Each structure stands twice: as C-alpha cells, then as structure tokens.
Chain A
Amino acid sequence: MTPRPALGHAERTDAELLALHVDGDADAFGELFARHRDRLWAVALRTMGNPEDAADGLQEGMIAAFRRAGSFRGDAAVTTWLHRVVVNACLDRLRAMKVRRTEALPDDLEDRADRGSLVSSTDAELDPAELAVADERRRTVLTALGTLTPDQRAALVLVDMEGYSVAEAAQMLDVAEGTVKSRCFRGRARLAPLLGVLAPPQRDVADTRNLPPTADVPTTGPPRAPPPAPS
C-alpha cells in the first residue's frame, strides 16, 4: 500500500483546517478564514452599515475565532460558526456604540463606483440611466436598513440578503428559529413604507405614451354668443 500523500491546506475541509489550527498548525486558520472572508465581509458590511466599522467587526470576529477555535463543538458547519462569531462581534460593537444608525449606510457605493461595478454582475448590461436607478434603489434600501435595530438588521442581512435559511441564521445568531422569523417579519414590515412598497401601484414606467383623451368638460351655463361688434 503506497503512503497517502499529505494534503495541502487547500485540499482540506473546513473542519480539518480548524482541527489543524487547534493542534497548533500555523497556517490552517489563515486558509480557513480566507475561504469565507468575502462573505463574512458582506455580512459585516451590511450589519455595521459602513466599511470602517465593518472592518473593525470582522477583525474582532477573526481574533475571537482564532482564539476560541478550541470551543468549536462540531454541531454546526464551520462556516456557520464563523458567521456566528463575526456577527456577534459586529452586534457587540453596535451595542457598545449605542447608536442606531439613521444616516446613509451605503458608503461602499462610492468605492464600487471607482471599480466600475455598481450593483451586480449584470450591471454591465444596464445603461447609465438604469445604473443610476439601481444605485438610487440600493441607497434607499441600505438607508432604510440602517433604521432597524441591530438584531433585525442582522436577521434580514443573513436571510434576505445572503440567502441563508432561517435555520442557518438561527444558528449563526444563536437564537431560536422563531426569533429569526419574528425579527425578519418586523424588519420587513418596518422597511416596507420606507421602500415605498405600501404605496399604490404606479403606472408602468415603460408606458410613456400620452394619456387617452377624456370626454369634454360639460358646460353648465347658457351658450355664450360672440361679443357684439362695435357700432
């Protein structure tokens, strides 16, 4: 039987990397965190509302995960555990700041504009007018998101933005599934008026034709004759 070649870190599973880290491997945690960094960054950014605080939250979460890796019990996926640590670090930061952010959140819009990607990978197909509309819509959503409580915001970020299931979000937030549902329900209900969802439906934007002619306004007085010619 030929000896099995040692696996590099890139071929290891998340759980293996975490176990290696706990056993003292110097590089395993870096590989593990790098795998999930972008998504953790997205969650931190949307939860904190601005890149500076998001970077702080992500950094604190990473430090906590590095140091508490030994407490991982394996009853959830490693990525779920990482999200939990980072989200908790962000929420702790928000609570410590004791500030409910009502100012505009989408600080990253300017950064994105510099890089030519404004909304999504399909943006390239949009014309400048559509990009502007999408930009404005995103700004409106993020501003409205900033009015929610941190707990509601975190639930909506995980479920509606990042697409995690309620069960996964419950594990990440370390609360019951019913609590996540309740936070999402309340959060969406608070966002709806701010996003214009409750407004009456408007005409289709594409329908730019003139309105159909309406009936003549009926006259109510007696018919008037032309003024008499001067004599």
Chain B
Amino acid sequence: MTDPTPDPLTPGQDDAVRRLLASARHSDPTPPEVVARLDETLASLRSERVQAPAPVVTLASRRRRTAATALLAAAAVVVLGVGIGQVLPSGTSTDAGSSAGAGDSAASSDERPATAESGRAFDAESDSAADAEEKLSDLRMQNGRTPAGPGALTSESGLRSQVRALRRASLTAAYSSSPLCTLADARSGKRVPVTFDGVPAVLVFRAPVADRQRVDLFLCGEASPARSVRLRAR
C-alpha cells in the first residue's frame, strides 16, 4: 500500500508544522525506572561476557576466512573433476547400484570417527539409525547448511551422505596427487582430494568387499583417517 502523494505545503505551512513538531520535543531526562532497567540489563550483559568471553570476530577477518575457504573449496572441486572418475569401483557398472534393491538406505553402518587406537574398525549400527542420519543429512543439505561444492565436506552434516553425493557425481578422470597433500597410508584405494571443514583432505575409496565399500577420510599429512564411512557398493 503506497501513500498517495499529498498536496505540497506552502513554505509558511511547512514552517508551521516544523515549529509545532519542535515544540513537542521531549527534553526531560530518562525516567529513573528506565535507567534502572537499563543498568540492570547492562550488568547482565557484562556478566554474560565474563562467563563466556566470545572472541570478537571482525568483519574483515570473517571475510578473509570465508574467501579462503571458498577458494580452497573451489580448488578442490576442480581437482575433484579430474579425479572422481577413478572412484567408481572397477568392474561394476553404474546400473548395478540402482538394481541393488533397497539401495543405500539399507547400508548398515554410518560414519564414525576413527582414531589411531581404534584402527580401522568401525561398529555396525542399525539400519534405522543409519537411515535416520541419512535423512537428517539430506534435510540439512536441502537447508543449505552444506558447502556449495561437492568436494567441500563438512562435519556439520552427515559425512556418509556427502560422500555418496560425491560418488553420485560420477565424474571421470584420473586423480593426480597434490604436492600439498601426502598420505602415509599406502593401502590401495581410489583417492579423491577434498576439503573437510576447509582443511585439505583426501577421501580414499577402498575396494568393495561383498556389497560394501569403505571410504576413509584422511586429513593431509595424517597417518590415520579422521573419519570412515561404509557405503553400499555400486
């Protein structure tokens, strides 16, 4: 609804309105009860600050960080375009996954942090739990909480669904190892450079065993995987 243009006032009328407005200016001090309320609020803000000193992030530093992350993600996506084709297990067709019946929702385990102590073992979880996590992850992705590029992984969403999305990309090209990222793990597997929370990393797609394929996420320079997930082989 737009305000119809009113008739213009003469200079004298304009001055008269302005004088009347000026005469209604509030010139008294803030009432004591309002001052007391503000002081109380201020004290609360101070105590909040002392209890949880949040680091002040300036806009400039935030922009720099965002730009660096975006640049890194973009670079990873470009390299990904070269390397993702090698991810698909050799000897299996892309149609195999779709004809596998229940599909990935039947996968029996989810991602689990891997430590040096726990080695490569990961516990199986129930299908329903995995499905729930997968749905939740998909929902998060719909809500835009995951990075724009498929190679930019994040800990905020389920890793399994992100890895699946990468595998679904079905890009074909050979992976060329980045001099910035070396892996101590010499075991075989198709390697895909990615970023994880902005940190350069590599996904290693192991050879499928039965109908399962294990995927390890290594942060660059780390000897053990930071995360491991298991997918239904395609």
Contact across chains for A195 and B17 when beta carbons are under 8 A apart: yes
Number of interface residues of B (CB under 8 A): 39
Contact across chains for A189 and B9 when beta carbons are under 8 A apart: yes
Contacts of A191 in B (CB 8 A): 17, 20-21
Contact across chains for A37 and B38 when beta carbons are under 8 A apart: yes
Contact across chains for B38 and A58 when beta carbons are under 8 A apart: yes
B41 to chain A, nearest CB (A): 6
Contact across chains for B23 and A137 when beta carbons are under 8 A apart: yes
Contact across chains for B13 and A198 when beta carbons are under 8 A apart: yes
Contact across chains for A192 and B9 when beta carbons are under 8 A apart: yes
| Docked complex Cα distance between A117 and B29 (Å) | 11
Contact across chains for B34 and A41 when beta carbons are under 8 A apart: yes
Given A55-B34, A70-B57, A112-B28, A195 contacting B20 (CB threshold 8 A): yes
Contacts of B23 in A (CB 8 A): 119-120, 134, 137-138, 141
Contact with B along A186-200 (1 / 0, CB 8 A): 101111100101100
Closest to A60 in B: B41
Contact with B along A47-64 (1 / 0, CB 8 A): 000010011001100110
Q: Which residues in window 138-157 of A have CB below 8 A to B?
A: 138, 141-142, 145, 149, 156
Contacts of A58 in B (CB 8 A): 34, 38
Q: Does A38 contact B (CB under 8 A)?
A: yes
Contacts of B53 in A (CB 8 A): 24
| Docked complex Cα distance between A46 and B22 (Å) | 12
Contacts of B56 in A (CB 8 A): 22, 70
| Docked complex Cα distance between A146 and B31 (Å) | 22
Contact across chains for A188 and B34 when beta carbons are under 8 A apart: no
Given A141-B21, A161-B25, A186-B3, A197 contacting B30 (CB threshold 8 A): no
Q: Which residues in window 20-44 of A have CB below 8 A to B?
A: 22, 24, 26, 29-30, 33, 37-38, 41-42
Contacts of B16 in A (CB 8 A): 192, 195, 197
| Docked complex Cα distance between A42 and B25 (Å) | 8
Q: Does A162 contact B (CB under 8 A)?
A: yes
Closest to A41 in B: B30
A/B interface sample: 18 pairs, CB < 8 A: A26-B46, A33-B42, A37-B30, A37-B35, A41-B29, A42-B25, A54-B34, A70-B58, A73-B59, A108-B26, A145-B21, A149-B3, A160-B21, A161-B21, A186-B6, A192-B13, A195-B16, A197-B17
- Which 5 pairs of residues, A with B, have the shortest CB-CB distance? A189-B6, A160-B21, A141-B24, A41-B30, A42-B26
Residues of B within 8 A of A (CB): 3, 5-9, 13-14, 16-18, 20-31, 34-35, 37-39, 41-42, 45-46, 49-50, 53, 56-59
**Extra 18 A-B pairs, beta carbons < 8 Å, given A108-B26, A137-B24, A189-B9:** A24-B49, A24-B53, A30-B42, A33-B42, A37-B30, A42-B25, A66-B45, A67-B45, A71-B59, A108-B28, A120-B23, A120-B25, A149-B3, A156-B21, A185-B8, A188-B14, A188-B17, A197-B13
Residues of A within 8 A of B (CB): 22, 24, 26, 29-30, 33, 37-38, 41-42, 45-46, 51, 54-55, 58-59, 62-63, 66-67, 70-71, 73, 106, 108, 111-112, 115, 117, 119-121, 134, 137-138, 141-142, 145, 149, 156, 160-163, 185-186, 188-192, 195, 197-198
